[in-house]
Amino acid sequence: MLQLGCPGSGDSSAPVSDQAAPQTGLSRSFISAAIETIAQMREWASSMAYAIQNGYGVTAAWANDYRARAASSLRMAGSTAVTDPDRNAFQLLTNEFNSVGAWSDKLVQAKQTMDTAKYSTSPNALRDDPLSQKIITCGHFLGTMLGSGEFTDDASCH
């Protein structure tokens, strides 16, 4: 948005873009990149859950393909973090990425040790897992925060 001096007001200052103004909220570019990162993490987590629940072969290489896409998106979000609120929100986004990674590793390990029956016998077993609950809660929080455009903090993302 361009701000111009009022005609005839004697204000001869040059136009000022909102890029030059100090930003106190989340930047649009960061919000957009962070939303994409959340989408990549959800795809990763939901694909893992679906595969485990339905007895499909889950390997570390397969999971790492999803991890790599989410990591690339996370790096992009990090490169767009220009305000202090962006950088603070990026830390929460990184924490969420790490939680999804830990959960993914846990599921791969369960598949390797043939300990996935507990996840396929109950439709809510994966969702009720404490780490899964943390991921879900943090993901909802991040979506709400990004939608507001203002940084806030939440324990579920730590």
**Residue type at 26?**
L
| pLDDT reported for residue 1 | 39
Cβ distance 100 to 70 under 8 Å?
yes
Look up the pTM and report it. Answer: 0.83
List CB contacts of 30: < 8 A, sequence separation 6 or more. 77, 80, 81, 82, 83, 86, 89, 90
Give dist(CA 21, CA 9) in Å, integer: 21
Per-residue pLDDT tens digits for 31-73: 999 999 999 999 999 999 999 888 888 899 999 999 999 999 9
The pLDDT assigned to 101 comes to 98
pLDDT digits (tens, 9 = 90+) for 100-112: 999 999 999 988 8
pLDDT level of residue 9 (50, 70, 90 thresholds): very low
- Which of these, 66, 137, 55, 141, lies nearest to 105 by C-alpha position? 66
Q: 76's torsion region: left (phi>0), alpha (psi -120 to 50) or beta?
A: alpha
What value does the mean pLDDT of the chain take? Answer: 86
| pLDDT per position as a tens digit, 20-30 | 445 679 999 99
Confidence check: pLDDT of 138 > 50 = yes
